[in-house]
Amino acid sequence: MNEQKSTKHYYTAQDKMLLAVGYVLLGLFVLAIIVPVIYIIVASFMDPITLQNRGIVLDLSKWTLTAYERVLSNGQIWIGFKNSIFYSLAFTFISVFVTLLAAFPMSRPDFKGKKFFNTIFVITMFFGGGLIPTYLLISNLNMLDTVWAVLLPGAFSVWNMIIARTYYQGVPGELYEAADVDGASDVTFFFKILLPVCMPLIAVLSLWQFVAMWNSYF
């Protein structure tokens, strides 16, 4: 029989000290996140006057659901909630779709002008258009006071395009060659072959864009 090698790791005094410091810092970091959340939750069940005069009180007899009743009975809250859901879902769909389309030609080695467009895209990451030019552009396109003024300006993300392009480049080239031999066009290859194998990418991009839009307007 082969003797099994021991995989037990022995920590030196210095290693133990570093681990202890790391655990202490991690514990403080967790407390810094959890304590404010607990404070907000407990405060939401308390009467505003009691909270202002006495602070947090753990006496359950002093707790009330008045704050939740006022929030749930406010129609403006529900309108804002529905708008947040609509804008987040619509923005996520448009943004991910545009990003996936833009990344496809940028991932093809035979695409002429790829370096030029890459340079243009990267420049926009460092130099934004600014508030006033963006407003003038939206005004000239007659998109003021419309949903498109919210959905379209930030729909394309260069960073997400770079991530999608890198993911596409990891897909075996044999798939494209086989599709080309079978007579499939680039559109057919993109929608029927490439996208089905890129579901992890789509899920990540969708999560990023949905959370970004949700945090912006809710």
Instruction: Tell me the per-residue pLDDT of 166-183, one tens digit each, with 9 for 90 and over.
Output: 999 888 888 888 888 888
Q: How sure is the predictor about 10, in pLDDT bands with cuts at 50, 70 and 90?
A: confident
How far are the Cα atoms of 31, 110, 120, 217 from residue 114, in angstroms, in the given order?
49, 9, 10, 35
**Token pair listed for 161:** 């395009």
Residue 105, domain CATH: 1.10.3720.10
Reported confidence tier of residue 1, pLDDT bands at 50, 70, 90? very low
132 and 157 co-located in one domain: yes
Indicate if 130 and 201 belong to the same structural domain.
Answer: yes
Say what the pLDDT of residue 5 is.
53
For residue 202, pLDDT beyond 90: yes
Q: Which amino acid is at 12?
A: T
Q: What is the pTM of this model?
A: 0.72
Closest CA to 106 of 97, 96, 116: 116
The answer to whether residue 102 is domain-embedded is yes
> At which of 5, 40, 71 does a domain end?
71
| Residue 106, domain extent | 75-217
| Cα(80)–Cα(71) distance, integer angstroms | 12
Q: Are residues 34 and 92 in the same domain?
A: no
Residue 128 has pLDDT above 80, yes or no: no
Q: What is the Cα–Cα distance from 27 to 145, expressed in whole angstroms?
A: 48
Same domain? 184 vs 109:
yes
Residue 4 resides in a domain:
no
- State how many domains the chain has: 2
Reported as a single tens digit per residue, the pLDDT across 62-118 is 778 888 888 888 888 888 889 899 999 999 999 999 999 999 988 888 888 888 888
